[in-house]
């Protein structure tokens, strides 16, 4: 299908707050890649960082590029090269492609590969476009029971799967999730689907807490109105929870996590705090003998995320707060950047 000099429409970020819907050249897949016609994109918080600030961590928008990495679509070219895909196959796109050769890749922890190429991390183009080139072995088949919005949720769900895997989440365990943004909410959904007996959700925004309650949180805690550690102690008869997940992106909230944990429990940090270093209650970590886990994106988590969706164990669609067509991608970014308290997950439909 791809032809030299053929074009497509895409959302192209030129500089902070300068995202344009424009024509760009259609990419061509190599032998180990497939061309995917994008159907749906979710708007990630990292996309908004690049939109607002032009940078995130070590990545900087130094030239125009296409953001986006929470996507699904249909394979239209490049199938059949021994990759198990066929044209017309619906797929979820895993955006972080490692070298596949290093020790970390071979041990299964390919998310830690030093040479990961991540779609939408500038200057690498992402998926807010009509088409995208994807590594064939990172295009995961979707069953027909998973619609396009659910397919675009596979990537953030994989973050929740990875976090629960890193924590060693056990059925019947008690859980506290700090931060009721998209990642905190999907982590709560994965924890519940994994057999957690009760999940407590902590945030400062009443609307997000209400959504969490409707999705099955055993109790919600408004941290602007009460002390989360005191409330969790009350809810657990003074014991604390077995597993704490911090998805807040706040150093203060992250430092509060050990106080929520039971003796012998664990804390798993998902969100990137606004500061690289900050005071942390190490004496409490030692006294309670807590396990502290970092979690970085995901490895081998997409198949499980897809299986949870296909089985009906998780339905993330209530998290969708706004919907836009690709032609209005600039408006979608602008609204998400300027109205963070009104958005959970913004979806952008292409096909």
Pairing of strands 198-203, 174-178: parallel
pLDDT at 4: 65
Task: Catalogue all structural domains in the chain, each as residue range(s) with its CATH number.
Answer: 7-153+316-349 (3.90.180.10), 157-294 (3.40.50.720)
What's the burial of 10, exposed, middle or buried (CB within 10 Å: 0-12/13-18/19+)? buried
Residues 346 and 351: their CA atoms lie apart, in Å, by 16
Whether the bond into 123 is cis, omega within 30 of 0: yes
| HSE-up of residue 349 (Cα within 13 Å, Cβ side) | 10
pLDDT at 205: 96
pLDDT at 220: 98
Q: Which helix (DSSP H) or strand (DSSP E) does residue 52 occupy?
A: helix 45-53
Q: Output the CA–CA distances (angstroms, integers) from residue 47 to 43, 55, 184, in the order listed.
A: 7, 10, 17
pLDDT at 5: 76
pLDDT at 315: 96
Question: Residues near 153 by Cβ (< 8 Å), separated by ≥ 6?
Answer: 42, 70, 186, 309, 316, 317, 319, 345
Predicted TM-score of the model (pTM): 0.96
Query: Using a CB cutoff of 8 Å and minimum separation of 24, what contacts does 232-241 make?
Result: 232/176, 232/200, 232/260, 235/200, 236/174, 236/262, 240/265, 241/173, 241/174, 241/175, 241/176, 241/200, 241/265
Q: Residue 275 CB: number of other CB atoms within 10 A?
A: 10
The three-state secondary structure class of 42 is strand
Residues 44 and 172: their CA atoms lie apart, in Å, by 31
CB 111 within 8 A of CB 102: no
pLDDT at 339: 95
CB 108 within 8 A of CB 316: no
Question: Tens-digit pLDDT profile for the chain (351 aa)?
Answer: 546 679 999 999 999 999 999 999 999 999 999 999 999 999 999 999 999 999 988 899 999 999 999 999 999 999 877 778 999 999 999 999 999 999 999 999 999 999 999 999 999 999 999 999 999 999 999 999 999 999 999 999 999 999 999 999 999 999 999 999 999 999 999 999 999 999 999 999 999 999 999 999 999 999 999 999 999 999 999 999 999 999 999 999 999 999 999 999 999 999 989 898 999 999 999 999 999 999 999 999 999 999 999 999 999 999 999 999 999 999 999 999 999 999 999 999 997
SS3 content of the chain, % helix, strand, coil (to 5): 30, 30, 40
């Amino acid at each position: 299908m791809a032809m030299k000099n053929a074009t497509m429409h895409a959302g192209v970020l030129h500089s902070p707050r300068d995202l344009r819907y424009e024509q760009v050249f259609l990419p061509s897949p190599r032998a180990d890649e497939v061309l995917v016609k994008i159907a749906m994109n979710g708007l990630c918080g990292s996309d908004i960082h690049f939109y607002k600030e032009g940078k995130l961590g070590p990545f900087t928008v130094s030239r125009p590029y296409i953001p986006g990495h929470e996507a699904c679509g249909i394979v239209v070219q490049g199938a059949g090269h021994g990759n198990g895909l066929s044209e017309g196959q619906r797929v979820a796109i895993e955006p972080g492609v490692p070298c596949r050769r290093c020790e970390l890749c071979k041990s299964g922890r390919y998310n830690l590969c030093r040479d990961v190429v991540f779609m939408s991390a500038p200057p690498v183009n992402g998926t807010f476009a009509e088409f995208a080139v994807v590594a064939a072995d990172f295009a995961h088949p979707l069953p027909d029971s998973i619609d396009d919005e659910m397919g675009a949720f596979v990537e953030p769900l994989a973050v929740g799967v990875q976090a629960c895997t890193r924590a060693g989440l056990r059925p019947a365990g008690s859980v506290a999730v700090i931060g009721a943004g998209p990642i905190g909410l999907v982590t709560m959904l994965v924890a519940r689907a994994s057999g957690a007996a009760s999940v407590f959700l902590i945030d400062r925004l009443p609307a997000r807490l209400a959504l969490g309650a409707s999705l099955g949180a055993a109790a919600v805690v408004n941290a602007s109105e009460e002390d989360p550690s005191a409330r969790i102690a009350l809810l657990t008869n003074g014991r604390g929870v077995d597993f704490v997940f911090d998805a807040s992106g706040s150093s203060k909230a992250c430092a509060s996590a050990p106080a929520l944990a039971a003796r012998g429990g664990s804390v798993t940090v998902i969100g990137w705090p606004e500061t690289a270093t900050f005071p942390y209650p190490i004496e409490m970590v030692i006294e309670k003998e807590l396990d502290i886990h970092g979690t970085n994106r995901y490895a081998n988590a997409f198949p499980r995320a897809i299986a949870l969706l296909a089985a009906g164990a998780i339905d993330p669609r209530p998290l969708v707060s706004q919907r836009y067509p690709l032609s209005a991608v600039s408006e979608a970014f602008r609204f998400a950047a300027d109205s963070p308290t009104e958005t959970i997950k913004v979806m952008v439909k292409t096909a």
